[in-house]
A and B are shown apart, each in its own frame.
Chain A
Amino acid sequence: MPDDPRLSLILALADDELILGHRHSQWTGWAPHIEEDLAFSSIAQDEMAHARMLYRVARESGLTDRDDDALALGRPPEEYLNAVLCERPNGDWGYTVARQYLYDTADAIRVQVLGDSSWRALADAMKVIELEEKYHRDHAVTWFNRLAEGPSLTARERFAEGLTTAIGEAIAVFEPLSGEEELVSEGVLPRSNEDMLGDWLGELGEALEASSLDYVLARHGPVGEMVPTGSGEIPVESVDFTVPGVVRRDGRWMHEGAFAGAGGRRGRHSEDFLPLWEEMTALYRAHPGAKW
């Protein structure tokens, strides 16, 4: 882990944008709809450009002597601090849009909070990023409404499946950083991740409830079904699929206890990260010092 918690913070931010931008860009030329192909390519470019901007801030602030390419493409896998959510393969369009919705609504909160950071260079970068992230959020919300509100039931189900898959790991976008207490006390991170998570989950819960999609936060099932066996049909045991660490209390969804899918902020990744890393960095690593 980086010694300076500021480096942990900025790498977490930049790596999220890089890795998710990388995933988004894999739809370029492949998206299931041509206008969407164009839109998603733009979002991918924005995210990757934000990563580059943040890597540069890290260097200009004296936290590292590595340039943006060395940071983006030249680190060993365990030094990447992105949330696991960002590294997952694109899956189908339902998962892709669900992840983009969850990520960009979460990112919006963090970007706004960091706009008030006592670390001036970071705050300035966040102000620039915020201008573009607004469009990502509009894109995500438009899709949310289209998919959740019909008229296609298949679309709603695909989206709900995507949300169900992504939600636990989306919560871990707010996994605490190493040295977070110090960052908060110095005003570098004006509000703790736990606080930001509370805001995000509250908003998310409201949006999901408004579309009757809050079941993705608390899935109990399959209740009441019958399973045929040799000795007749027996009721299926009810399985609790509630997302770990999420509860509804006093009319509001909130975080309590554990994180699912966490580890990214400590450089611990899923099985999907290594293949991504290999592909993304192979050419850069194969030709040290080359110009392209």
Chain B
Amino acid sequence: MEPVTYEESSAAFKARIDAGEKIEAGEWMPDEYRQSALKFIEMHANSEVMGALPEGTWIPRAPTLKRKLSLTAKVQDEVGHGQILYRVAEDLGKTREQMFDDLVNGRTKFHNVFHYPAESWGDVAYIGWLIDGAALVNQKALLDASYMPYVRAMRRICPEESLHLRHGEELVLELVSGTKEQRALFQDAVNRWWQPTMHFFGPPSKKKDMLLYWGIKTRTNESLRQEFFSTYVPKLWDLGITVPDDRLAWNEETGEWDWAEPDWDEFWKVVRGDGPMTHIRLAQRKTVWDTHAWVREVFAGMPEAA
């Protein structure tokens, strides 16, 4: 029977998702689905463009020409991912201009890790390997999401992220096999970045997580964090790098990693938009945005308002 009420339509939609069907942009969808998908993808896009900034500060300071070139290319890729994702989000009903305006004015969010400063080349290596590694764990899980335009975006983005990961790994290997100072640069980065990395996966997922319910996300925060541990912790230990979590160990009985809960207050503070670099980065972005409205006029081909 054809669904007749909104509830019936929503239920039929939910049944399709549960059966593993994919949703396309122009299709009917419950408003709750549209809002959830838009918010999630918009935040993802915001995170790509904000994620360009911490690493970007090291382009002018890169220690060799080769690294200067590869870091520029890498950061460029992140901006490109932002471009792709904003396009996906736009189809859900919000213009890129509005999304950017909301971002620079602090009305929308971006991932917690991009609220922190990149203090040294060690941080560039850490971000390139482990933040990109964490992101890739997340993004691979999104290849199976219910919103097909997002899945297609992920199919383009994931291979590039895999390349970034190798780039990051190479940076790390050079540091840990380099001089004492270089090694210390990386260890120091691990010490400072570990907690934000734990935050990156978020607190354990709630029982009814809207994103999981609608298949916009496919795996819980905790399962993603566990995959991250399994992939990267043994490698870090192999390199002789200490991870700043005394409880971190593989638990044979539970078949999971034990780990110490990070400071979630710090997490929520950052999520609320009060991280160490949040205000500075947004203020700089807003300055460029506000002082360059004329560039957008040119692109829009719109005559100036009188």
Binding site for B on A (CB under 8 A): 22, 25-26, 28-30, 32-38, 41-42, 44-45, 48-49, 51-52, 68-69, 72-73, 92-93, 146-147, 151-155, 158, 276, 279-280, 282-284, 287, 290-292
Contact = CB atoms under 8 A, between A and B. Distances in A.
A68 B75 contact: no
B76 A290 contact: no
A124 B292 CA distance: 40
Contact of B69 (A48, A92, A146, A292): A48
Interface string B159-192: 0000000000001001100110110000000000
Nearest to B75: A28
A93 B62 contact: no
B294 A158 contact: yes
Contacts of A93: 292, 295
Chain B contact residues: helix, strand, loop or mixed: helix
B62 A283 contact: yes
19 contacts: A25-B68, A25-B72, A28-B56, A28-B76, A28-B79, A29-B49, A29-B52, A29-B78, A32-B289, A33-B295, A34-B49, A41-B79, A45-B69, A51-B65, A151-B302, A151-B303, A283-B62, A287-B63, A292-B175
Interface string B55-84: 010011111111111001101101110110
Nearest to A42: B76
Interface string B28-58: 0000000000000000000001001100100
A28 B297 contact: no
A183 B244 CA distance: 61
Contacts of B75: 28-29, 41
A290 B69 contact: no
Contacts of A283: 61-63, 121
Contact of A45 (B64, B72, B179, B295): B72
Nearest to B121: A283
A73 B297 contact: no
A73 B64 contact: yes
A155 B301 contact: no
Contacts of B182: 287, 290
Contacts of B49: 29, 34
B174 A30 contact: no
Interface string B260-275: 0000000000000000
A25 B121 contact: no
B303 A282 contact: no
Contact of A290 (B63, B171, B288): B63
A13 B64 CA distance: 19
A35 B52 CA distance: 14
